[in-house]
Structure 1
Amino acid sequence: MTSTTTVTEDTAPAQGVQLTDVAAAKVRALLEQEGRDDLRLRIAVQPGGCSGLIYQLYFDERDLDGDAVRDFDGVGLVVDKMSAPYLDGATIDFADTIEKQGFTIDNPNAGSSCACGDSFS
């Protein structure tokens, strides 16, 4: 039994998730460090956390039905169809300061978030 996968290319700059140049460079560096060029960055929203929803950010090689795929200077970013409405207009960045290091998500759809910034509603 063979299943087909629909992958759409979203090119409208005002829609979907944005990946900053700094974040794209960090993703590229991590993939090069792992010696992998077959992976893309996947962002998803799942139930959980103290505010109701949590972000999941991980490398993935899968193509799921309804995925929206965008390319940011050679870095593939994937959002599943269930997470897309929660993430429309969100921006993924990477911070490397004395106060914070890691990926950050600025999401205009988040009505509130927890103090640690890991979950939102």
Structure 2
Amino acid sequence: MTDTAISTHGVALTEAAASKVKSLLEQEGRDDLRLRLAVQPGGCSGLIYQLYFDERLLDGDIARDFDGVEVVVDKMSVPYLDGASIDFEDTIQKQGFTIDNPNAGGSCACGDSFH
């Protein structure tokens, strides 16, 4: 059995999220940062999302470009995030990035972790 490399990840970045990421990078004056989405053990439901800017590109990372915004996922997180979508909401009730993940079987009351 051969080990085939994963060439892309199934995470999508909405237009609103890409626009917000671009404006944040412009404010920082950085063009060397990527948006990294990862899944780590933790939280009250078992897994927790990590979404942050990263200047590193690690071995096994899978990157996908969205109109100049590079979204990076480590190869261990890819199966947990296939089909997930990163959006940005700016409403009276909520402002911030959201992650809609069809692979999440359930989440905790605070919405920060899933299983």
**SS of equivalent residue, structure 2 residue 19:** helix
Letter in 2 for 1:42: R
- C-alpha contact 1:70 1:78 (8 A) present in aligned 2: yes
- Structural mapping, 1:45-64, within 5 Å: 45-64=39-58
1:72 positional shift? 0.3
Match of 2:27 among 24, 33, 41: 33
Separation in 2 of the partners of 1:115 and 1:64?
Answer: 33
Root-mean-square deviation over aligned CA pairs: 1.4
Instruction: Show structure 1 runs of 5+ residues with no match.
Output: 1-7
Query: What's the counterpart of residue 84 of structure 1?
Result: 78
Question: Within the alignment, does 1:69 sit opposite 2:67 as a pair?
Answer: no
Letter in 1 for 2:75: K
Runs of 4+ with deviation above 4 angstroms: none
Q: How many residues align?
A: 111
Instruction: Show structure 2 runs of 5+ residues with no match.
Output: 1-5
Separation in 1 of the partners of 2:39 and 2:92?
Answer: 28
Separation in 2 of the partners of 1:25 and 1:9?
Answer: 25
Identity of aligned residues (%): 80
Separation in 2 of the partners of 1:57 and 1:26?
Answer: 14
Letter in 2 for 1:27: V
1:84 positional shift? 0.6
Q: How far does the alpha carbon of each residue in 1:2-32 deviate from its partner, in whole angstroms, 9 at most, with x for none?
A: xxxxxx752xxxx510000000000000000
TM-score (normalizing by structure 1): 0.88
Query: What's the counterpart of residue 97 of structure 1?
Result: 91
Separation in 2 of the partners of 1:98 and 1:50?
Answer: 28
